[in-house]
Structure 1
Amino acid sequence: MTDPGRLELLVCTYEHAMYRTALAILGDCHEAEDAVQDAFVKYLEKAPAFASGEHERAWLLRVLINGCKSRLRAPWRRRTTPLLDTYPAAAEEERLALEEISALPPKERAVIHLYYYEGYPTAEIAALTGEREGTVRSRLTRARARLRELLKGET
């Protein structure tokens, strides 16, 4: 990367979307911050050239998702427990929904986040996660069904 202002523009443009994606996958705010930082470092190391901003965003998200998957496979992660009893949210209903989403397995959390919060269609989610489109659709269906059951049990 030859332009130093380019990285600053890149971070300002994509940091929030990348952080939300990492947080949805990892479920830990500190790990999500580290994963986003690692993705930007990889961008600096590789200095790829892109045809458009959309390709750039897709590349960054792909690197981020792969990094999150690696973090989930780490042996030390299996020996930790979450510290938060509740998650901060604007309203009680929103907090409950976030807790239910965080109770989903990481792969289902990821597709829910990419589909509903980032607005990606299933074909693009499949390309980002490296899985088949049918797998993404079935994970989305399973996640919706689990959320429906979890939320129905609370009312």
Structure 2
Amino acid sequence: MQRSVPEPGDQVMSIYEAYADTLFRIAMVHLGRREDAEEATHDTFIKFIEKAPTFNDAEHQKAWLIRVITNHCKSLLGRGWRKREVKLEGADPLTTENAEDQALIELVLSLPVKYRSVVHLYYYEDYPIREIGAILQISESAVKMRLQRGRQLLKLELEGEEQL
């Protein structure tokens, strides 16, 4: 019986299918616009193809991809053109059919980036604090503090909305 060896393109496609949604959501958390998030996701996979790194396991691979997209988003946010760009009216960053979920997504997206990223990785991607620290290259105590402050900001916003 002859075994077929998967083509390199097939391997990249399976990795893309496995992680593209996660990477897109992370980019959305950082960048806030669908077009920018799609571009960052594609750039991350281009870097993956160019570097062709070897990994110990699937979790190591996923952590590497998340680290790359996080760094890429940070570099995009630091560029001068990003600060001077004009937001289009009616541009829809991320939507869901449930109004409560949509409101919560908008609140999370309104958080400062350092809180937004840990809240997203913890609640939406189900990463433990230790792994978030490794991905973002910060200490576990910094992750805990950012989660606590992010929750406080969300709570203040939610309480403010209820009083209206």
TM bin (shorter chain): over 0.9
**2:32 counterpart (27, 31, 38):** 27
**Percent sequence identity over matched residues?**
39
Structure 1 residue runs of 4 or more that deviate by more than 6 Å after TM superposition: none
Correspondence 1:146 to 2:114: no
Secondary structure at the aligned position of 1:19 is classed as helix
Q: What are the ranges of 5 or more consecutive residues in structure 2 without an aligned counterpart?
A: 1-6
Aligned residues: 154
Rate the CA distance shift 1:147–1:81 in 2: closer, same or farther, 3 A: farther
Alignment of 1:3-152 (within 5 A): 3-83=8-88, 84=90, 88-152=95-159
* SS of the residue 1:48 aligns to: coil
TM-score (norm 2): 0.88
CA 145–82 in structure 1, closer or farther in 2 if over 3 Å, else same: farther
Deviations 1:72-94 (A, max 9, x none): 11111112354347653212222
Change (3 A) 1:122 1:81: farther
- Structure 1 unaligned residues grouped into runs of 5+: none
Read off the aligned partner of 1:121 and give its amino acid letter. P
- Of 96-105 and 144-153, deviating more is 96-105
Deviations 1:96-117 (A, max 9, x none): 1111111111111111110000
> What SS is found at the alignment partner of 2:54?
coil
Between structure 1 and structure 2, the one with the greater Rg is 2
User: What per-residue deviation string (whole Å, max 9, x for no partner) do you get for residues 114-151 of structure 1?
Assistant: 00000011111111011111111111111100000001
User: What code does the residue aligned with 1:110 have?
Assistant: S
